[in-house]
């Protein structure tokens, strides 16, 4: 038996479990439920309008889901490195681990995963979040990590983004993330307005709102780009360094912005050059239906309701027989 049963002071006996973030799962579930609901009523749409209606549905839900989901993702900028590093303070124990850095709009996630996971009689599998959005205190979260006794690699990386760090990147990331998130919320609102305009058959203004949505999405990427390209301190683990690149959320947001831009331009161009094709895509071409109705009601057709009316010459209607009283 050793002091504290072989564990170091101030460290918890078990790893702190990182709570599962259900925000993305809830958003995806809601949009998938809407998609399934509309697919159920899809057989009720006749003709080739069914295909156009399905494409509009999928594209519209995809754009809305992406714009809303990337608000809460934590992989706008990511990086991984495998290194031999010290595990905890006041200890000479070395572990081989994968260290990950995941930067989002609202904070930073730092991952530490042992290679293998079980080393020095512990399970090394951490994923800690340090928020910097407005209303959150990054330095306090970092101090709480110190009090909990988080592993040294996590604290070392988290310290690089603190306000007291000489790297001085906290302010840039915090402001850029806040305004990028605000811009994406505006983009989500304009997306809703465009869907409403398309449902009201106001196609030109709907195309303009799609262009506005694309501009807001691309502007949010520009805001994050300014913070991403600020000079950073090297995150060094012995001979190797942790470097980051744009993550999946950044590229997915870029693809969505370009898609909104192409669709908005396409709708505006078609409305100017070939409005009939645009009406066909949005199932607004009713000329064929009116033509069929007019042909079915011609007097020569036996099915016309006017065929059953007794036709009497006008001269006979004017003849009046007088009877002598």
Q: What is the per-residue pLDDT across 263-290, written as a single tens digit (0 to 9) for each? A: 999 999 999 998 888 888 887 765 444 3
Residue by residue, DSSP assigns 49-111 as: HHHHHHHHHHHHHHHHHHHHHTTT-S-SEEEEEEEEEE-STT---EEEEEEEEEE-SSEEEEE
pLDDT exceeds cutoff 90 at 257:
yes
What's the pLDDT score for residue 100? Answer: 93
Q: What is the per-residue pLDDT across 228-237, written as a single tens digit (0 to 9) for each? A: 777 778 888 8
Domain count, the chain: 2
Domain boundary among 170, 185, 219: 170
Q: Are residues 120 and 190 in the same domain?
A: no
Spatial CA neighbour of 265 closest among 208, 219, 213 = 208
Residue range 185-208: average pLDDT? Answer: 92
Q: Are residues 166 and 178 in the same domain?
A: no
- Cβ burial of 126 (10 Å; 0-12, 13-18, 19+) is buried
Residue 17 lies in a domain: no
pLDDT exceeds cutoff 50 at 21:
yes
Q: Are residues 210 and 154 in the same domain?
A: no
Q: Are residues 217 and 184 in the same domain?
A: yes
Q: Are residues 187 and 39 in the same domain?
A: yes
Record the tokens describing residue 128, joined without a space.
Answer: 């800690």
Does the predicted TM-score (pTM) go above 0.75?
yes
Domain range for 154 = 77-170
116 prior amide bond cis, ω within 30: yes
What's the pLDDT score for residue 43? Answer: 75
Q: Are residues 67 and 178 in the same domain?
A: yes
Mean pLDDT across the chain, nearest whole number? 80
């Amino acid at each position: 038996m050793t002091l504290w049963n072989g564990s170091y002071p101030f460290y918890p006996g078990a790893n702190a479990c990182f709570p599962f973030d259900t925000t993305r799962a809830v958003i995806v579930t809601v949009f998938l439920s809407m998609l399934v609901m509309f697919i159920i009523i899809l057989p009720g749409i006749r003709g080739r309008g069914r295909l156009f209606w399905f494409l509009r549905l999928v594209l519209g839900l995809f754009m809305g889901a992406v714009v809303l989901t990337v608000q809460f993702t934590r992989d706008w900028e990511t990086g991984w490195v495998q290194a031999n590093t010290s595990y905890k303070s006041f200890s000479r124990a070395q572990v081989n681990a994968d260290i990950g850095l995941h930067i989002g709009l609202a904070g930073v996630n730092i991952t530490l995963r042992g290679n293998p996971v079980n080393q020095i009689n512990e399970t090394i599998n951490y994923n800690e979040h340090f928020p910097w959005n407005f209303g959150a205190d990054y330095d306090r979260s970092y101090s709480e990590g110190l009090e909990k006794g988080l592993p040294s690699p996590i604290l070392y990386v988290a310290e690089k983004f603190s306000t007291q760090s000489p790297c001085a990147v906290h302010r840039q990331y915090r402001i850029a993330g806040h305004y990028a998130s605000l811009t994406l919320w505006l983009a989500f609102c304009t997306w809703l307005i465009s869907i409403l305009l398309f449902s009201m058959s106001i196609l030109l203004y709907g195309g303009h709102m799609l262009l506005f949505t694309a501009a807001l999405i691309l502007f949010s990427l520009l805001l994050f780009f300014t913070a991403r390209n600020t000079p950073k301190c090297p995150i060094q683990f012995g001979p190797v360094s942790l470097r980051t690149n744009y993550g999946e959320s950044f590229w997915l947001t870029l693809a969505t912005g370009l898609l909104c831009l192409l669709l908005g331009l396409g709708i505006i161009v078609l409305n100017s050059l070939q409005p009939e094709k645009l009406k066909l895509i949005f199932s607004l071409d009713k000329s064929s239906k009116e033509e069929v109705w007019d042909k079915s009601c011609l007097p020569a057709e036996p099915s016309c309701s006017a065929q059953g009316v007794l036709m009497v010459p006008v001269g006979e209607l004017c003849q009046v027989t007088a009877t002598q009283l």
